[in-house]
Each structure stands twice: as structure tokens, then as C-alpha cells.
Chains A and B, each alone.
Chain A
């Protein structure tokens, strides 16, 4: 089979994403059922991006980070704030800020958001990655958890009444426990601009998966995996473990930050970023996606993310519908709690049957390697 040139793929990908974008704008107004499916698709795409990023550090480099939500939250806050700032600078009326903006407007706003968010998160990822040079395993995990909790509690605990210096005032502007809700108009918050349609969410996620696949197959990816397997042996072939571990953190942080920013500024988004976005259970959700799909497998992480997200939303919908249709016992139980219990049970079973995850370290369509 002849290989399709990369530029054709990119063009087709862009066309598909633009098509999705217009389909989204057209259908969302008309059809509520369609909106539900598109909402799930966008949520899947953002989680694919987040899981792909985490897979670089947890799966490929073998550094167990449980502070991923910290980077996602950081990206969300930054993304929301920058988007609001850019939208105001573009003279979009405040009253219409949270309405879905046009595709052309998104072409300006989204890059203005994504690039600085990626840079800042990468820089923070560098700092958080430094302890990985001295700590490993559980100890490193605790440091990453500490990082995300510090971020969350700092935002949560800094409120306007007590803010005295410029730094605390800036943090207080993020809204404390109420969350960041965009600029104020007549004393009310108008919400974060909803700009990023499927063109951006699906497009960026697909691009991230493509990059991660290339990364894994490159010499860089091989060295990263060597560091995961045995640091001393890796340095004995000339690989500098420090460089690779910190770079993995930087890449994961940048990806997570972009995922967070998209979460904040997506079309029909919530218009709010709250400290709950950085809670550690959010980190565990992403870890679950990666481990479910197969640690170290790019397509595994992506498919794990899609499965997790789809099941998460669909099971909720199914239980709600069943309850409405009058399935007797559902009236007396908490549907959300039941769903989580079933979900957890499924994960336990998957891990018992396939402890290496759905894919192990393999990729989709990759020839089977002789496994252990």
C-alpha cells in the first residue's frame, strides 16, 4: 500500500475539523439530541489530549505523576483569563462575551490563548519536574500531588477582602471558591468567552496524538522508555536521565495546560473555571484513562480516554432515562452514586483480566510483539 503524504492528511484533517465546526454551529441551535452527542465528542477530545499528555510522563518516562489536574487547572484559569482579555481587546461587547463566538473570531482568540498557556504550563512543568531528579515512585507522586493541591488551595483561599499586595490581588481576581467567571458587567460576571469549537478541540487532540506517536517512535521516545526501565543502564549507554525526565514533565504540562484552556473556552462551555477542576480526583480520572488503555501506548491512552468519557456521560444519561421511564428501584437510589459504583466495578474487572490495560504498550494496528 502506498503511503498517503503527510500534507494530504493534514489538509483532510483540517477540512474535517472545519466541517465539524460548522456542523456544530448549525446543529446545536436546532437539535438538542445532537447537542448531547457533540458535547460528548468534545469532552472526549479534550480528555484524549489530557490523557495523551499524561501518558508521556507516566507511561513513557515512568514517572508517576498524580498532579496532572494541577496543570489542567492552571491551563483552565490562564486560558479563561487570557481569552476574556483578548475578547475584550477585540471589542466584542461584554454582554455577548459568553455567547458562542464565530469561527473567524476563534481563529484569532484560540491561538492567542493556547500558545501562552502552553508556554507558562511548560515552565511550571519544568519546576515540578525537577524533584523527579532526586525522588522516585511514591515520593515523586506525593510531590506532584502537593503541587496540584497547593495551586488549588492558593486559588481557593485567596479572596478579595484579605488581598493586600498585587500578587494576592491578582490571584483573588480568579474568584476564590466561586471560580473565575470572566469580566464584570453591571456588577455581574458575564462568563468566559465560548470560542473553541470542534475545529480546535478535536483538531488539537488529533494533532497531539499524532505528535505523541511520532515521539514514541523517535530516538527520543526510545530513550525515554529506556529511562523508565532502568536509569543506570540508560546512562550507561549515554542517555542523560535528568534531561529526559524533566522534558517529559514539560511536555505533559504543556499538553495538560492546553487541555485545561480548551475546557474553559470550548463552545457551549460552562463559562466558569473553579478550583474543583484541580481536585486530585480529576488527576485520578486521567490516570485511569491512561492505565485503562495501556500505560505507554499512545492509542491506548486515547482510546482509554474516549471509553472513560463516553461511558461516564452515557451511563448518566441511561440511568436518568431509566429513572424517568419508571424503573422502580431507581427512584430510591442515588443514580450518580450507583453509576460510580458500577463504573469502579468495571475498572476492577478490566484490571483483573488485563492488568497491562487494553493495549499494554502496543499501538492500535501495530504488529503483535511477543509479549512476556
Chain B
């Protein structure tokens, strides 16, 4: 893949985190889904956000793309405050979310699904190049371009959702449970693709329940528990951590 963001020159300060989240709190009505989440992602990193059901992983991602508002805290991307922005504006900044549960457009063809991913760069040539990149990444999609999205298998739909996000040429890719409900073999393929996307220069924040798979691809990880960051560290350290092993890796 060619460099991931030809449209945005990298800013001068490479040490500044690309995404900086400080003490975000999210409430659904009276219930606090996130108490205080702080994390940061540096340029080019792959970071995993792991934790049990209901820990607040999905809420964290959804709040970052402004689908749900936060009630306290602050998040900046490339130094830009995200709080006043809408979802579309966040996407324009270069953050692409792959939503949970294969949120593709089922009645659009695979090609249309991918083309709409490039909505922000409606340049025929660039769109064609991105499409070729995605097909290289997921050859299965290339065979099914004329098919309706809804006719794909679960794994293929997940590939399509990721492909669609890549079409936007993001500098930060947010993935919400890419392995959810997918055969283990396909899940591994999908994570290989995520590795390739990261290698092309895209920064990745991935939310996963499949802890081992996520930490194998990510360099660092955060463990979320009841709306708070309970642990953070290098993937290797987390994989060796007795508590993490006990709680999320089946205790062996």
C-alpha cells in the first residue's frame, strides 16, 4: 500500500500523541458508562483497548467519533479539540470508525459500499487507486464487487467495513470488535490485514474482546474495567500479567 494520507502532510511535532484522550466521562441518562477514560495513541502506533462486556470499550470509540457526547473530559486529535465537532467533521479530520457488527450498507453493491467510503475525496483517479489498494488487501472483495453487501458472509462484511474505512484514507483508524462473530480463521486474516494497514502508516486503535489476537497485533494496550482504565502497558507485559491472563485469556 502507498502512504496512507497523501492529503494531509504530517505535522512537525512527531512526539505529540496523535490522539489524546483525557478523563472522558459519558452518561447514558443517569447511568455513567465511562467514569474517566484517559488514553493516548502516537503516530503510527497500533493500540488495543481490551476489557469485558460492558466495560465501556464501544462507548469510548463512539464518543471519540461524536456519536455519543461526553459530559466531562477532553479529547484532541492532531491538537484539534474534538468536542465541538459532529461525526462527519471528525471523519473529515482523518478519523475513520469501523462500527461494531458489520455496519455496511446491505442494499448497496460492494463497489458502491467502497466508493462511498471515499466520499470525502471524490476524485475518480484517487478513488480508483484506493479501490485497488483495498482489493489487494482483501482479494475476496475484488471477486464480489457487483454483489450486494448484504449477500456477503459475516467475515466478508467485516472486510468490507474495514475496506470502506480505508477508502477514506484516514490517519487514524478506529476498529470496534473486528473479530466479533467471525470464524477464528477469518478473524486471523482480518487482523493480518489490520497489521498491513498499520504498516502502510495508518495509526490504529482497536477495541477487542479477543484479547490475545488484539495484543499480538498491537504494540500497547489499555484494559478497561467498568468505565475506567484499569491497566495499561506494552502488549507483551499485558500478555504476561497474571491478572490479565486470569481475567481475559482464560487463565493459562
Contact yes or no, B99 A370, CB < 8 A = no
The answer, yes or no, to whether A361 is at the interface (CB within 8 Å) is yes
Contacts of B122 in A (CB 8 A): 219
Q: Knowing A238-B88, A369-B147 are in contact, say whether A232-B109 is a contact too (CB < 8 A).
A: no
Q: How far is the CB of B72 from chain A (nearest CB, A)?
A: 23
Contact yes or no, A226 B148, CB < 8 A = no
Contacts of B249 in A (CB 8 A): none
Contacts of B91 in A (CB 8 A): 235-238
Q: How far is the CB of B115 from chain A (nearest CB, A)?
A: 6
The chain B residue with its CB closest to the CB of A227 is B105
The chain A residue with its CB closest to the CB of B113 is A226
Contacts of A233 in B (CB 8 A): 99, 103-105, 161
Q: How many residues of B contact A (CB 8 A)?
A: 35
Contact yes or no, A238 B103, CB < 8 A = no
Q: Which of B95-110 contact A (CB under 8 A)?
A: 96-99, 103-109
The answer, yes or no, to whether B126 is at the interface (CB within 8 Å) is no
Q: Which of A222, A369, A371 contacts B116 (CB 8 A)?
A: A222
The answer, yes or no, to whether B119 is at the interface (CB within 8 Å) is yes
Contact yes or no, A232 B99, CB < 8 A = yes
Q: Which of A238, A361, A369 contacts B146 (CB 8 A)?
A: A369
Q: In whole angstroms, how far apart are the Cα atoms of A237 and B99 in the complex?
A: 11
Q: In whole angstroms, how far apart are the Cα atoms of A233 and B99 in the complex?
A: 7
Q: Knowing A225-B107, A229-B107 are in contact, say whether A237-B148 is a contact too (CB < 8 A).
A: no
The answer, yes or no, to whether B87 is at the interface (CB within 8 Å) is yes
Contact yes or no, B168 A237, CB < 8 A = yes
Q: Mark B8-26, 1 if CB is under 8 A from A, else 0.
A: 0000000000000000000
The chain B residue with its CB closest to the CB of A239 is B119
Q: Knowing A229-B108, A372-B151 are in contact, say whether A237-B119 is a contact too (CB < 8 A).
A: yes
Q: How far is the CB of A219 from chain B (nearest CB, A)?
A: 6
Contacts of A225 in B (CB 8 A): 105, 107-108, 112
Q: Which of B55-99 contact A (CB under 8 A)?
A: 65, 67, 86-88, 91-92, 96-99
Q: Which of B107, B116, B146 contacts A237 (CB 8 A)?
A: B116
Seed contacts A222-B108, A236-B99; 10 additional CB < 8 Å A-B pairs: A223-B119, A225-B107, A226-B105, A237-B91, A237-B116, A240-B88, A369-B147, A371-B148, A372-B106, A372-B151
What are 30 A-to-B residue pairs whose CB atoms are below 8 Å? A219-B115, A219-B116, A219-B119, A222-B108, A223-B119, A226-B105, A229-B105, A229-B106, A229-B108, A230-B103, A230-B105, A232-B99, A233-B99, A233-B103, A235-B88, A236-B91, A236-B98, A236-B99, A236-B103, A236-B165, A237-B120, A238-B88, A238-B91, A238-B120, A239-B116, A296-B107, A370-B146, A370-B147, A372-B148, A372-B151
